[in-house]
A = this chain, B = another copy of it.
Amino acid sequence: MARPPDKTARAELLLAASEEFAAHGVEGTTIQAITVRAGRSKGAFYLHFDSKDTAFRALVESVFDGLASFLGDVVPTPKLGWGLAEVRAHWLATDVRAFEYVWRHRDVFRLVLSGGMCERFAFLTDAFALAASESIARWLRYGVAQGFYRADLDVEIASMMIGGAYDGLARELVGRKRKPRLTQWLAQFQGVFVGGLGAQVRPRRQDANGATTTPVPRVARRNRGVASRR
């Protein structure tokens, strides 16, 4: 008995919200704009969400859930026994699938990665960031144990760097107008990390500056700052 709820309302509102967020940012979007775009009333919005923040949170959570599914499908243990070739092929494939996913949902990721996000939403991404960072560290340790990587690698710093580089890659990706060749991108990316920029065999040598370091910089530019958009 009684009128049944319109099951499509929530999904339509969420879609409209994501479009408005993408166009004007979270802060710059009014609830009115969302409801107009969805062709719904303001009341309908409050029927499904407590506030704009709730809607945004729902949006980000659903997208991150999808992304997290790419993490941890294989956990490296000593028993795994994968050679460099298998590991390489498997993870390149996984990377490509993950980045395809990011590209598909680039409107939402753009919000998360470049502005729009208030400090108050950081917890949404932190869980993923932590899981990703740990996954990187696990594989680095596995590689060291298997002899793939140099024994003096500072796993802490290296995983931070690699995580940051993926982060930067994602930022670059979501800023693009056209989809780049992801497989080529990622292969280059991984090639640089594994093989370095160096031309040839460099003798390992103790660095003057400190700590564990090996060879050292050079390319490292002072550049810093924000990676180029577009």
Q: Which A residues are closer than 8 A to B by beta carbons? A: 25, 27-28, 64, 67, 70-71, 84, 87-88, 91-92, 94-95, 97-99, 102, 112-119, 122, 125-126, 128-130, 132-133, 135-136, 139-140, 143, 147-151, 153-154, 157-158, 160-172, 181, 183-202, 207, 209-229
Query: Which A-B residue pairs are the 7 nearest by beta carbons?
Result: A164-B168, A190-B217, A196-B196, A132-B223, A190-B220, A94-B222, A27-B27
Q: Quick one: copies of this chain in the complex?
A: 2
**Given B125, B151, B209, B222, which contacts A187 in the complex, CB threshold below 8 Å?**
B209
Q: Across the interface, do B197 and A194 meet the contact criterion of CB distance under 8 Å?
A: yes
B161 A171 Cβ-Cβ under 8 A: no
Contact between A193 and B164 (Cβ–Cβ < 8 Å)? no
Partner of A227, one of B154, B167, B191: B167
Given A227-B129, A227-B160, A229-B129, residue A140 in contact with residue B188 (CB < 8 A): no
